[in-house]
């Protein structure tokens, strides 16, 4: 089976279910918002949440995708930076429990974490992130041998803020013969790195994943299909995801609309990361483009049914069976 290496922010989600909105008010966090906090505030919030009781789940976009490709059975590796602390070790060992081969670099700051406040009857989520050591990862950390033996290299768009790191990473990945994919992550990342990202996609990237707002920011086209066609002009495969309305995939002369798979959605977290994992797994098997989009959709439909990014075992089993049937049908 083909292998995949991912690079991204090594972030641990620190989840706490709060009885009321008091802590949100105390730290000036608007309900449902996502804010960056400094170390002091981050530590203070963490201590306050610990008193209530917290759950630790390794997260970060590329890390989620790579965990998922590992569960699919692809030999999977991850490069990220943690701090010299317990939280970092927890991130590393949690990834390894999923079979991921980690290259964890160690920085000087505390390990990155995303504190998630879960409040109210609808389990509304409010985020306070401390990036810490994750942001210390730089081009000098990378070594060609990290890339050797991998067939795919997947980048999370959040890292594009560190242009020198990504420039070096894609050069090493190309030298190692990897197919390169990127998930654009967020429209503001796309907006603030426009020229760099265009150059990156045109020169290095083979597969682009973007949602509706990211594809619009990247191409300046209002319509997702127009965006799809524009992106597909710059690389081998373009994917534009439109949430519950499904996705569009295009490569060369081939273009497909893929409906979303039926689901009982409770929490959209991880849909994009999981879709990418299913798509890349199928691509690595040499399946047709349409099947890649379908397998991405099958697994993404399972993650929206659970709270958080980790699909439970029954849902994994069900999805793998469905994917097996799809592949068997293709093989006649």
Ligand X SMILES: Nc1ncnc2c1ncn2[C@@H]1O[C@H](COP(=O)(O)OP(=O)(O)OP(=O)(O)O)[C@@H](O)[C@H]1O
Summarize as ranges the residues that interact with Mg ion (CB under 5 A).
Answer: 272
67 near ligand X, judged by CB under 6 A: no
Please count the helices (runs of H) and the strands (runs of E) in the chain. Answer: 12, 14
The option from Mg ion, ligand X, none interacting with 216 (CB < 5 to 8 A, set by class) reads none
Closer to ligand X at the Cβ: 60 or 112?
Answer: 60
247 near ligand X, judged by CB under 6 A: yes
**Which residues within the stretch 181-220 sit at the binding site for ligand X (CB under 6 A)?**
211
CA gap 210, 227 in Å, rounded: 10
CA gap 228, 124 in Å, rounded: 32
Question: Which residue in 161, 243, 315, 320 binds ligand X (CB under 6 A)?
Answer: 243
Q: 225: buried, middle or exposed (CB in 10 Å: 19+, 13-18, 0-12)? A: middle
Q: What are phi and psi of 34, to 5 degrees?
A: -130, 115
Least distance from ligand X to the Cβ atom of residue 62, Å: 12
Gyration radius of the chain's alpha carbons: 19
Residue 267 is given by DSSP the state -
The option from Mg ion, ligand X, none interacting with 139 (CB < 5 to 8 A, set by class) reads none
H helices present in 257-312, as ranges: 271-284, 289-303
Which pair of tokens denotes residue 326? 């799809």
Binding string, residues 264-303; x marks residues near ligand X by CB under 6 A: -x--x-xxxx-x---------------------x--xx--
87 near ligand X, judged by CB under 6 A: no
- Please give the sequence-ordered ranges of beta strands (E in DSSP) within 201-293, or none if there are none: 207-211, 237-241, 247-251, 254-258
Least distance from Mg ion to the Cβ atom of residue 154, Å: 13
Least distance from ligand X to the Cβ atom of residue 304, Å: 5
Residues facing residue 255 across a β-bridge? 250
Closer to ligand X at the Cβ: 141 or 156?
Answer: 156
CA gap 16, 156 in Å, rounded: 26
Q: What 3-state class would DSSP assign to 250?
A: strand
The option from ligand X, Mg ion, none interacting with 243 (CB < 5 to 8 A, set by class) reads ligand X
Residue whose entry in the numeric block shows the structure tokens 């292998």: 3
Closer to Mg ion at the Cβ: 83 or 272?
Answer: 272
Closer to ligand X at the Cβ: 60 or 107?
Answer: 60
Least distance from ligand X to the Cβ atom of residue 203, Å: 24
Residue whose entry in the numeric block shows the structure tokens 């010299």: 84
Closer to ligand X at the Cβ: 112 or 278?
Answer: 278
CB crowding 272-299: b at 16 or more within 10 Å, else e: bbbbbbbbbbbbbbebebbbbbbbbbbb
Closer to ligand X at the Cβ: 92 or 241?
Answer: 241
The option from ligand X, Mg ion, none interacting with 111 (CB < 5 to 8 A, set by class) reads none
129 near ligand X, judged by CB under 6 A: no
Closer to Mg ion at the Cβ: 176 or 263?
Answer: 263
241 near ligand X, judged by CB under 6 A: yes
CA gap 249, 1 in Å, rounded: 24
Q: Which residues contact ligand X (rule: CB under 6 A)?
A: 211, 241-244, 246-247, 260-261, 263, 265, 268, 270-273, 275, 297, 300-301, 304
């Amino acid at each position: 089976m083909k292998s995949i290496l991912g690079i991204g922010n090594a972030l641990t989600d620190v989840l706490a279910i709060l009885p009321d909105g008091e802590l949100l008010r105390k730290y000036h966090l608007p309900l449902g918002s996502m804010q960056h906090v400094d170390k002091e505030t981050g530590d203070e919030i963490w201590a306050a949440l610990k008193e209530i009781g917290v759950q630790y789940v390794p997260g970060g976009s590329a890390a989620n995708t790579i965990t998922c490709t590992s569960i699919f059975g692809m030999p999977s590796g991850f490069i990220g930076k943690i701090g010299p602390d317990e939280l970092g070790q927890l991130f590393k060992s949690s990834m390894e429990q999923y079979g991921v081969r980690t290259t964890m670099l160690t920085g000087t700051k505390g390990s990155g974490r995303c504190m998630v406040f879960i409040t109210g009857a609808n389990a509304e989520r409010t985020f306070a992130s401390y990036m810490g050591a994750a942001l210390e990862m730089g081009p000098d950390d990378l070594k060609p041998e990290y890339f050797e033996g991998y067939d795919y290299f997947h980048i999370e768009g959040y890292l594009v803020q560190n242009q020198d790191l990504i420039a070096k990473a894609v050069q090493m990945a190309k030298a190692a013969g990897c197919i390169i994919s990127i998930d654009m992550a967020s429209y503001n990342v796309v907006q603030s790195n426009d020229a760099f990202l265009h150059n990156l996609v045109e020169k290095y990237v083979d597969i682009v994943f973007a949602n509706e707002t990211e594809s619009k920011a990247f191409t300046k086209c209002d319509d997702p299909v127009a965006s799809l066609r524009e992106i597909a002009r710059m690389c081998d495969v373009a994917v534009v995801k439109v949430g519950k309305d499904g996705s569009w995939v295009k490569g060369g002369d081939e273009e497909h609309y893929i409906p979303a798979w039926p689901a009982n959605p409770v929490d959209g977290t991880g849909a994009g990361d999981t879709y990418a994992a299913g798509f890349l797994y199928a691509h690595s098997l040499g399946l047709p483009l349409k099947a890649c989009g379908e397998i991405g959709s099958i697994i993404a439909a399972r993650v929206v049914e659970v709270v958080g990014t980790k699909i439970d075992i029954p849902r994994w089993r069900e999805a793998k069976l469905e994917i097996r049937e799809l592949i068997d049908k293709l093989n006649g």
